[in-house]
Amino acid sequence: MEKVVLDSRSERLILGKTCSNFLRGRGRFSNWLCSSQWKVFPVKASYATTRISSENIEPIAPKMFLRSDSSDMKGFNDSSCLWTSPTNDHILDAYEDEYGGIIINPDRLPWETNAFGTALQASLSYWKLMGKKGVWLKLPLDRSEYVPIAVKEGFKYHHAEEAYVMLTYWIPDGPCMLPANASHQVGVGGFVINDQNEVLVVQEKYCASSLCGVWKLPTGFIHESEEIFAGAVREVKEETGIDTEFVEVIAFRHAHHVAFEKSDLFFVCMLRPLSHKINIDDMEVQAAKWMPLAEFLEQPCIQDDSMFKRIIDICIARLGKRYCGLAAHHMISKFDGRSSCLYYNVAEPQDFNCQGT
């Protein structure tokens, strides 16, 4: 095909899948053609009265041009249109996000690298014409060979998990407005003290040489979609076998350039013990015990570190009811309709046995 002249009033490129009985007498389109299975986007007006070679339009890959005198197409009154060969799927299966971006369906990717590369080029051209912005491409492990293809097209790494890598592509000119990867890791520590004024402490099996033999609070990272208070209770249970209930967030630390240059949020939680017998996790913990509070405070690692010392001072103040921490309150916001936890200092201290001044 060397050229085609399109109607100068308005053009539409119609992308669809295989259909039977495509034409119904006298060259008219069937009503089925205009169903939800067909995607339509306007061709630039500058193409209307110019000669177009197949090379010019290859990025959006129309393989056949069809002229119809019908005006019966639902929503269209144009006498000219373009459509793709029903034997070729040129646009990757995807859906729009709420910000005008595109999320490619990772479960419907082509199985061959050549097909993926061709479809990706066509899709980017199509989405650009449609005025879309960001494109999100999630590639599972079994499609890892697609990564260099996407990078060659201009995609950038966003983040990776065990089972996939996420890449992004910003279509408009100017700075990318897509949100960056997660910037923080979140850790928790449990301050658990019993009726004998003993603190639950552990010695870690794997730690820096400067911390070998040090007795410390049970700590760990919260899991994905896990509440702070639930993470603290879980970590104490996993490391020591002690059941607890959450009381309050006593304090939190914010540090930067920690693991892999990420920032770190560490929440110190006061927990009330519900059991006493210790059963350690020997995969992570060397030893665990109930240690008298005074003995715990005498450790050089506590006395010589202003931050650790301050944390313990705050915990002791809370025990003496001279300080109130942040309690967790389940709430639902109309902003997103989701249930979440709001941590704040209680307005009625007597409800939480807190009389801080």
Convert the pLDDT of each residue in 64-77 to its tens digit: 323 333 333 333 33
pLDDT band at 265 (very low <50, low <70, confident <90, very high): very high
The mean per-residue pLDDT over the stretch 32-56 comes to: 37
> Any idea which of 27-36, 191-200, 297-306 has the lowest mean pLDDT?
27-36
Q: 195: which DSSP letter?
A: T
Average pLDDT over every residue of 39-55: 37
Percent of the chain with pLDDT over 70: 72
Which one has a higher pLDDT value, 233 or 14? 233
Percent of the chain topping pLDDT 90: 57
Mean pLDDT of the chain: 78
Sequence-separated contacts (24+) of 146-149 with Cβ below 8 Å: 146/109, 146/113, 146/116, 149/113, 149/116, 149/117, 149/120
Provide the b/e sequence for 22-60 (b: ≥16 CB within 10 Å): eeeeeeebbeebbeeebebbebeeebbeeebeeeebebb
At residue 329, does pLDDT exceed 70? yes
Residue 39 has pLDDT above 70, yes or no: no
Does residue 63 carry a pLDDT above 70? no
What number of other Cβ atoms are within 10 A of residue 90's Cβ?
20
33 pLDDT band (50/70/90 cuts)?
Answer: very low
pLDDT value of position 259? 86
pLDDT at 194 over 90: yes
Whether 30 shows a pLDDT value over 70: the answer reads no
Pair 165, 104: CB distance under 8 Å: no
pTM value > 0.85: no
Q: What is the spatial distance between Cα 2 and Cα 297, in angstroms, rounded to a whole number?
A: 86
pLDDT, one tens digit per residue, over 267-326 is 999 999 999 999 998 888 999 999 999 999 999 888 888 898 899 999 999 999 889 999
Give per-residue pLDDT as tens, 90-132: 899 999 998 889 999 999 999 999 999 999 999 999 999 999 9
- What's the helix, strand, coil split of the chain in %, to 5? 25, 30, 45
C-alpha closest to that of 268 among 220, 211, 322, 338:
220
Query: What per-residue confidence (pLDDT) applies to 89?
Result: 54
pLDDT for residue 27 is more than 60: no
Q: What is the pLDDT of residues 137-162, one digit of tens each?
A: 999 999 999 999 999 999 999 999 99
Q: How confident is the model at residue 352 (pLDDT cuts 50, 70, 90)?
A: low
